[in-house]
Amino acid sequence: MTEELLNDESFVITSDDVLGKSVIDEQGDSIGIITQLHIDKTNKNILGISIDPGFLKPQVFVGVRLISLFGIDAVYISKTPQSRYIGLIVFDRTGVIIGKVIGSEYQDKALKTLEVRTGLFRKVSIGKDKIQRIKRNVILNVKKDEI
Amino acid sequence: MEKITSRRFDLADSHSTSDLKGKNVVSRGGEIVGKVKDVLFYDKDILGVILKKRFRKDVFIGIEMVASITQDAILLSIDPVTSLLGLPVFDKAGKKIGKVKGIIRQDERNNFKSIAVKPNIFRRTMEIDASDIKIISQHIILKVEI
């Protein structure tokens, strides 16, 4: 690479410009902070990034093809990771708080069930058919006793 | 209790204002937008509820925007426009512009004309038109580069 290209800030960024940046998905939600940049040793190209979503949540790896922009203050990705639902509050259709999402199961890339912690030692699996919508949190179309 | 009414209903299926006070108010998107501070009446009709929001001004929500009133919460049919306050704003290039400090509305309906964004204490507030906003969620992402 020529020296001019290396000095062109509009073309080249370094790991310092990437690590520690916020990652925002296609829905405008925060995924976490970039902690690692993964590089293919053989082909010498970037494979993707590791993201720390926060306290007690598992790290997320996002492949470079899903990165839509390395921005000035944030990195935009074009997909929502499957772990995005972890930590969301689950309300039944009357507004009662059921619990928090601790896991999700997918089938053919579509959400199948959410695993919800309802008590200290209790959890329940909620099928997609019982979910009315997922936005900031999860709203079910059933009452707590119908789960 | 004794009941004197010409209507047929079970008192157990109703809610009193004292039951509602302090209950969560949940937006359409599942955000807890506040707690019920009071219920407003005009003549014999319920006008709406006053929400108490932590660290922010109280908000009145008209009854027509309430989807359901249950024993445990009030569910709204809207995501109140006041929920935009405090959201971080990023432009198309991924640059952080600032946080929403104000919402400029044309009337009292649940929409807005523009948002006031303050980058930091040293810089002036800038106004961003609603038509320049691409996504509203945990962040506001603009369609344009600032």
CA dist., res. A31 & res. A47, Å (int)? 18
Q: Is residue A7 pLDDT above 70, yes or no?
A: no
Q: Is residue A5 pLDDT above 70, yes or no?
A: no
pLDDT digits (tens, 9 = 90+) for B66-80: 999 888 899 999 999
CA dist., res. B81 & res. B56, Å (int)? 14
- Which of residues 30 through 69 in chain A touch B, CB cutoff 8 A? 30, 69
CA dist., res. A138 & res. B67, Å (int)? 16
Predicted local confidence at residue B141, as pLDDT: 96
Identify the residue whose tokens are 């609603």: B130
Tell me the mean pLDDT in the region A24-45. Answer: 92
pTM of this prediction?
Answer: 0.85
pLDDT digits (tens, 9 = 90+) for B126-135: 999 999 999 9
Task: Residue B139: list chain A partners with CB under 8 A.
Answer: 24, 28-30
Flag whether residue A10 sits within 8 Å of chain B, measured between CB atoms.
Answer: no
CA dist., res. B102 & res. A101, Å (int)? 32
Identify the residue whose tokens are 């939600």: A29
Tell me the mean pLDDT in the region A36-51. Answer: 93
Nearest to A29 among B74, B94, B138 (CB): B138
The larger pLDDT score, comparing residue A20 to residue B123, is at: A20
Say whether B26 and A95 touch across the interface (CB within 8 A). yes
Q: Which two tokens stand for residue A119?
A: 């008590």
pLDDT > 70 in chain B, percent: 100
CA dist., res. B1 & res. A112, Å (int)? 48
Task: Residue A70: list chain B partners with CB under 8 A.
Answer: 94
- Tell me if residue B65 falls in helix, strand or coil: helix
Q: Is residue A22 pLDDT above 90, yes or no?
A: yes
- Which of residues 81 through 110 in chain A touch B, CB cutoff 8 A? 88-89, 91, 93-97
B78: closest CA of chain A, how far (Å): 12
pLDDT digits (tens, 9 = 90+) for B13-30: 888 888 889 999 999 999
* Cβ–Cβ < 8 Å for B8, B18: no
pLDDT digits (tens, 9 = 90+) for B101-123: 999 999 999 999 999 999 887 88
Predicted local confidence at residue B97, as pLDDT: 95
Say whether A133 and B90 touch across the interface (CB within 8 A). no
Q: Which two tokens stand for residue A23?
A: 């990652």
Instruction: Return the number of other C-beta atoms located less than 10 Å from residue A12's C-beta.
Output: 11
- Please, which contacts does B54-59 make with residues 24 or more away whose CB atoms are closer than 8 Å? B56/B82, B56/B85, B59/B33, B59/B34
Q: Is residue B35 pLDDT above 90, yes or no?
A: yes
The larger pLDDT score, comparing residue A84 to residue A29, is at: A29
The larger pLDDT score, comparing residue A56 to residue B12, is at: B12
ipTM of model: 0.81
- Tell me if residue B100 falls in helix, strand or coil: strand
Dihedral pair phi/psi, residue A45, rounded to 5°: -125, 165
Weakest-pLDDT range from A49-53, B31-35, B42-46: B42-46
Say whether B95 and A72 touch across the interface (CB within 8 A). yes
Task: Residue B133: list chain A partners with CB under 8 A.
Answer: none
pLDDT > 70 in chain A, percent: 93
Tell me the pLDDT of chain A averaged across its residues. Answer: 89
Cα–Cα nearest to A83, from A31, A29, A133: A31
* Cβ–Cβ < 8 Å for A125, A115: yes
Residue A46 CA, chain-centre distance (Å), reads 20
The partner residues of A122 in beta bridges, in order of sequence, read none
Tell me the mean pLDDT in the region B22-43. Answer: 93
Flag whether residue A136 sits within 8 Å of chain B, measured between CB atoms.
Answer: yes
Q: Which two tokens stand for residue B74?
A: 């009030």
Q: Is residue A1 pLDDT above 60, yes or no?
A: no
Kindly indicate the confidence band of residue A61, based on its pLDDT and cuts at 50, 70 and 90.
very high
Instruction: Return the number of other C-beta atoms located less than 10 Å from residue B87's C-beta.
Output: 16
pLDDT digits (tens, 9 = 90+) for A82-123: 888 888 999 998 889 999 999 999 988 889 999 999 988 999
Instruction: Return the number of other C-beta atoms located less than 10 Å from residue A32's C-beta.
Output: 19
* Cβ–Cβ < 8 Å for B13, B21: no
Kindly indicate the confidence band of residue B145, based on its pLDDT and cuts at 50, 70 and 90.
very high
Instruction: Return the number of other C-beta atoms located less than 10 Å from residue A68's C-beta.
Output: 15
The partner residues of B129 in beta bridges, in order of sequence, read B114
Q: Is residue A134 pLDDT above 80, yes or no?
A: yes
Q: Which 8-state DSSP code applies to residue A7?
A: H
Q: Is residue A2 pLDDT above 80, yes or no?
A: no
CA dist., res. B30 & res. A13, Å (int)? 38
Nearest to B137 among A29, A70, A72 (CB): A29
Task: Residue A98: list chain B partners with CB under 8 A.
Answer: none
Flag whether residue A72 sits within 8 Å of chain B, measured between CB atoms.
Answer: yes
Predicted local confidence at residue B66, as pLDDT: 95
Q: Which two tokens stand for residue A87?
A: 């930590």
